[in-house]
A = this chain, B = another copy of it.
Amino acid sequence: MNRSVYVAGMGSTAFGKHAGTSIEALAVDASAQALVDAGIDRTRIGAVYLGNFISGPLNGKEVLAGLVAEQLGLQGIPCTKVEGACASGGIALRHACLMVAAGIHDAVLVVGVETMTHASTPEVTSALNCAMDNEYDGLSGLTFPGLFGLAWRAHAQRYGTSREDVAAVVIKNKAFGLNNPLAQMGAALTIDQIAVSAMIADPLQLFDCCPPSDGAAAVVVCTKDLLSDLPNHPRIRVMASVQTSGSARIAQHPDLCSFDATVLAAQQAYQQSGLQPADIDLVELHDCFSIAEIIDSEDLGLVPRGEGGRWAAQGRTGMHGDVVINPSGGLLAKGHPVGATGVGQIVEVVSQLRGVHPNQVDQAGIGMTHNLGGTGVACTVHILGREA
């Protein structure tokens, strides 16, 4: 990347149920917050990238980037929806960063949005399955809980990961969520409560699964020059912005305990930023299921391979651990409005790096986000750093 890219503003709706609010209205709300937070004149926004996954099937609405821009009074500029299943938000951010870095635009608005809670469970399940290779894997009848249930079994067999280890992730993230006003399902849970909750896809139980959500999150990214004209927030620089792909076919994964796309994205992100895993103070990663946090933490190189469960159980991924994982509450507690999630992670990290997060990590200087689509078919990793 040629020019440095900074996050100048951020905004988010709460994640949760927003019955009666249109998907455009949620996106406009988060976007307007981000524009105000950035203190930027709307005429300086050169493009809009909108991350969304299933507004077509669930809302009968596409071309959302243009609809949202129009309501924001942004006229004539390129407005693009990008889609990569659950990684849609991260992909939107990456494109905004590329446009600024390459000198094509000086400031770009990024917004991620999804609404799901208005639809029935079978409708939502069907729509989410748009992220799988149904021609190839459909016959197996696996939905996403099925896949991650298999992954858990494989991880348990190979590394000895126990129900208690996995529950430690749930307890941590649900507790973080209690303090986060953007989170929809924070809770003070015990291992016993988790262990008696409904079975979803053995061994995944109810509290191991993120809830369906409505929500939107937005950020404004811009050049260093433009940033100097804006309100005096701490300077948050995008140190790495990476997008990769992996197999969409479950049977093609050489290892159910790892996602190739994450491993590759992490390698590229460390290389791009010149950082190492030990430099990362906190990470917002894609815990769509509890076991996913364990696998992701290993794939990102933050935790030794096979140790993700034990590190969680020993508190090494908690607030005073070696690396703080999902201090927002993660997808498990915040919820997972699919297209919004990757941008919401950025909002959480920026909040940490500004030192204003409700679950503030001490001395947070470097934060990472990780957004994984489908069965690992798309992945984004971003690293953000606070400049003095």
A residues sitting closer than 8 Å to B (CB atoms) are: 2, 22, 24, 53-54, 56-57, 60-63, 65-67, 69-70, 74-85, 91, 94-95, 98-99, 101-104, 126-127, 129-131, 133-135, 243-249, 252, 260-261, 264, 373-374, 377-378
Which residues of B sit under 8 angstroms from A94, Cβ to Cβ?
78
Across the interface, do B63 and A130 meet the contact criterion of CB distance under 8 Å? yes
Given A63-B374, A84-B79, A102-B104, are A56 and B130 neighbors across the interface (CB < 8 Å)? yes
Across the interface, do B131 and A63 meet the contact criterion of CB distance under 8 Å? yes
Q: Give the CA-CA distance A245 to B70 in the complex, in Å.
A: 9
Across the interface, do B91 and A98 meet the contact criterion of CB distance under 8 Å? no
Cβ-neighbour of A126 out of B60, B67, B69, B373 (below 8 A): B60
Which residues of B sit under 8 angstroms from A247, Cβ to Cβ?
70
Which residues of B sit under 8 angstroms from A57, Cβ to Cβ?
56-57, 60
Which residues of B sit under 8 angstroms from A249, Cβ to Cβ?
70
User: In whole Å, how far is A352's beta carbon from the nearest beta carbon of chain B?
Assistant: 27
Total copies of this chain within the assembly = 2
Across the interface, do B243 and A80 meet the contact criterion of CB distance under 8 Å? yes
Which residues of B sit under 8 angstroms from A252, Cβ to Cβ?
70
Given A22-B135, A56-B56, are A82 and B80 neighbors across the interface (CB < 8 Å)? yes
Q: Give the CA-CA distance A95 to B95 in the complex, in Å.
A: 9
Which residues of B sit under 8 angstroms from A83, Cβ to Cβ?
62-63, 65, 80-83
Given A130-B60, A134-B60, are A248 and B66 neighbors across the interface (CB < 8 Å)? yes
Extra A-B contacts (8), CB below 8 Å, given A54-B62, A62-B83, A98-B102: A54-B56, A65-B84, A65-B378, A76-B264, A79-B377, A80-B84, A80-B95, A95-B95
Cβ-neighbour of A66 out of B69, B75, B95, B374 (below 8 A): B374
Across the interface, do B377 and A246 meet the contact criterion of CB distance under 8 Å? no
Closest-by-CB residue of B relative to A263 is: B76
Q: Which of A2, A54, A245 has the most CB of B within 10 A?
A: A245
Q: Give the CA-CA distance A98 to B108 in the complex, in Å.
A: 15
Q: Give the CA-CA distance A197 to B215 in the complex, in Å.
A: 48
Given A79-B378, A102-B103, are A53 and B61 neighbors across the interface (CB < 8 Å)? no
Which residues of B sit under 8 angstroms from A85, Cβ to Cβ?
62-63, 66
User: In whole Å, how far is A33's beta carbon from the nearest beta carbon of chain B?
Assistant: 21
Across the interface, do A84 and B81 meet the contact criterion of CB distance under 8 Å? yes
Q: Which of A62, A243, A245 has the most CB of B within 10 A?
A: A62
Pick 22 A–B contacts, CB within 8 A, sort by A: A22-B135, A24-B135, A53-B62, A54-B56, A56-B56, A56-B130, A57-B57, A62-B131, A63-B374, A63-B377, A63-B378, A65-B245, A66-B245, A66-B373, A67-B133, A70-B133, A76-B264, A77-B244, A79-B377, A80-B83, A82-B82, A98-B102
Q: Give the CA-CA distance A53 to B75 in the complex, in Å.
A: 22
Across the interface, do B98 and A66 meet the contact criterion of CB distance under 8 Å? no
